[in-house]
A = this chain, B = another copy of it.
Amino acid sequence: MSQLDGPAFHRIPPWVKAKLSPTAIEKIQKVHNFVETECIPAEPIMKAQIAEVGKRWTTQPLMHELRQKAKTAGLFNLFLPSHFKESPGLTNLEYSCCAEIMGRVYWAQQTMNCHAPETGNIELLAKYCTPEQKKKWLQPLLDGTASSAYSMTEPDVASSDATQIGCRITKEGDKYVINGRKLFGNCMWNSENKFYILMGCSDPYNPNKWARHSMVIVPTNTPGITQVRNLTIMGYDHAPEGHGEYIYEDVRVPLENIILGEGRAFEIAQGRLGPGRIHHCMRLIGQCERAYELALVRCIDPRKTPRGKLIGQFDSNIERIAQMRLEIDQARLVVLNAADTMDIHGNKAGRYAIAQSKILVPNMATRIIDECMQLYGGQGLTQHTQLPEMWTYARFVRIADGPDSAHRHQVGRDELKTAEKYAKRNREYQRRYKALAEKMGQKYETFE
């Protein structure tokens, strides 16, 4: 099929191409076209609209326009896996190919309603909400008429260990009352942001520490929420969505806003983060591809000829280009394998493969985008290219949902549980060696 040789499919490995459904092929192609023609050329426009005085926390008109276009073109909510009835029908593997393309522009995901934290929230609401809740909270998100945030991280505990989350949820009459401090839920200064899914502690003395927490829906306009400031990420305010720092003081929400039931936050959280991590990682790969293309372009810029040679004529840069190429492609294989594992064995069985992506990909991406900046000299750090924003996004993903060390720690602990199996196997080797030595009349030697 010749379409699969086109640029939209250029970097997809053969084994993945062979698994793409006709629907997926069509969607991937359309996402490619949309990003290439509607998004990338519009980057400076989007920036200019947000820079207008007094518009910093207002979603750009162009964003509304592009979202409408994408929706009409059937490109909304592609991330929602095919087992949801609301799904447009792609597998995780197939959507991953779309996500890479979206990653080429920081905000393209949003035009197609496939952006964090929306994706995680939509999947959560689709999976755990009652029909009434779905109608009220999920449908507007799916339709793209409202936006939501996720409120979990806290400054006062080590919230990467979520059992420590301390924000209190207390039942008083027909309300839950919330008190605590939170970091990183999207900014409430943007009026599109309609509600938070908040994780808090509703039963602090429950002997089962996995049953102490609950998740509730908190409308943004509920009295008692104060946004202390917008948190910058490496200096970027990420307007108009931003990242808020919040104080919750006696914030009251109706009892019906609880998700799944009291004490069931971990049951919910379990499934939430996996797919989102894969999406982040595939978008990072798309960013890396774009950064890499910029590096290639710099390599042949006829104006730049230090010591009389093009940047790309230096052997050292030729090797750098190659190393980037190799590492981006290696990372893609990791993420696609994780997506495929999720499709075949489910999110839970895919936990290891997801962690593998989460740890390896953002590290690769920061290194590679950094190298691309370096190829641009001083200009590489300025707004002359998208590279600084790309690097910052990769750096953010490296820490979002917990530092890579925490994830490595988890993987390592799981692995150590298998050690005894190998010790036993080694003792068996030794036993057989001994028998063999005796049989062959050879000296039996021990090394320990």
Alpha-carbon distance between A243 and B45 when the two chains are bound, in angstroms = 23
**A81-89, A112-120, A254-262, A379-387 - the one binding chain B:** A379-387
Q: How far is the CB of A73 from chain B (nearest CB, A)?
A: 18
Instruction: List residues of chain B with CB within 8 A of the CB of A300.
Output: 416, 419-420, 423
**A26-34, A124-132, A308-316 - the one binding chain B:** A308-316
Given contacts A158-B305, A383-B232, is CB(A337)–CB(B15) below 8 Å?
yes
Instruction: List residues of chain B with CB within 8 A of the CB of A42.
Output: 433, 436
Alpha-carbon distance between A37 and B435 when the two chains are bound, in angstroms = 12
Q: How far is the CB of A348 from chain B (nearest CB, A)?
A: 14
* In contact, A318 and B385 (Cβ under 8 angstroms): no
Q: How far is the CB of A270 from chain B (nearest CB, A)?
A: 18
Q: Is A57 part of the contact surface with B, judged by Cβ < 8 Å?
A: no
Q: Which residue from B235, B307, B314, B411 sits with its C-beta under 8 Å from A236? A: B235
Given contacts A160-B377, A356-B326, A384-B447, is CB(A319)–CB(B415) below 8 Å?
no
* In contact, B378 and A184 (Cβ under 8 angstroms): yes
Number of interface residues of A (CB under 8 A): 126
Q: Which residue from B235, B345, B355 sits with its C-beta under 8 Å from A388? A: B235
Instruction: List residues of chain B with CB within 8 A of the CB of A303.
Output: 155-158
Please tell me how many copies of the chain the complex holds. 4
Q: Is A392 part of the contact surface with B, judged by Cβ < 8 Å?
A: yes
Q: Is A222 part of the contact surface with B, judged by Cβ < 8 Å?
A: no
* In contact, A14 and B344 (Cβ under 8 angstroms): yes
Q: Is A334 part of the contact surface with B, judged by Cβ < 8 Å?
A: yes
**A186-194, A200-208, A213-221, A397-405 - the one binding chain B:** A397-405
**A142-150, A167-175, A275-283, A438-446 - the one binding chain B:** A438-446
* In contact, A411 and B322 (Cβ under 8 angstroms): yes
Q: How far is the CB of A331 from chain B (nearest CB, A)?
A: 8
* In contact, B359 and A381 (Cβ under 8 angstroms): no
Alpha-carbon distance between A385 and B432 when the two chains are bound, in angstroms = 17
Chain A positions 295 through 332: 1 when the CB is less than 8 Å from some CB of chain B, otherwise 0: 01101100111110001101111111111011101110
* In contact, B312 and A315 (Cβ under 8 angstroms): no
Q: Is A69 part of the contact surface with B, judged by Cβ < 8 Å?
A: no
> Taking chain A's interface residues, is the majority helix, strand, or loop, or is none over half, making it mixed?
helix
In the complex, residue of chain B having the shortest beta-carbon distance to the beta carbon of A427: B297
Q: Is A395 part of the contact surface with B, judged by Cβ < 8 Å?
A: yes
Instruction: List residues of chain B with CB within 8 A of the CB of A312.
Output: 416, 419
Given contacts A333-B334, A337-B333, A412-B321, is CB(A306)–CB(B158) below 8 Å?
yes
* In contact, A378 and B391 (Cβ under 8 angstroms): no
* In contact, B384 and A448 (Cβ under 8 angstroms): yes
Q: Which residue from B19, B164, B305, B378 sits with its C-beta under 8 Å from A183? A: B378
Alpha-carbon distance between A432 and B160 when the two chains are bound, in angstroms = 32
Q: How far is the CB of A4 from chain B (nearest CB, A)?
A: 12
Instruction: List residues of chain B with CB within 8 A of the CB of A359.
Output: 322-323, 326
Alpha-carbon distance between A405 and B383 when the two chains are bound, in angstroms = 22
Instruction: List residues of chain B with CB within 8 A of the CB of A14.
Output: 337, 340-341, 344-345
Alpha-carbon distance between A45 and B441 when the two chains are bound, in angstroms = 10
Instruction: List residues of chain B with CB within 8 A of the CB of A381.
Output: 233-234, 395-396, 399
In the complex, residue of chain B having the shortest beta-carbon distance to the beta carbon of A406: B306
Instruction: Pull 30 A–B residue pairs with CB atoms less than 8 Å apart, ordered by A.
Output: A15-B340, A41-B431, A42-B436, A44-B437, A44-B445, A45-B440, A48-B443, A157-B304, A158-B304, A231-B383, A234-B234, A234-B235, A234-B392, A293-B426, A296-B419, A296-B422, A296-B423, A299-B419, A306-B406, A315-B317, A316-B409, A317-B412, A321-B412, A322-B409, A326-B359, A326-B360, A374-B399, A375-B403, A380-B399, A381-B399
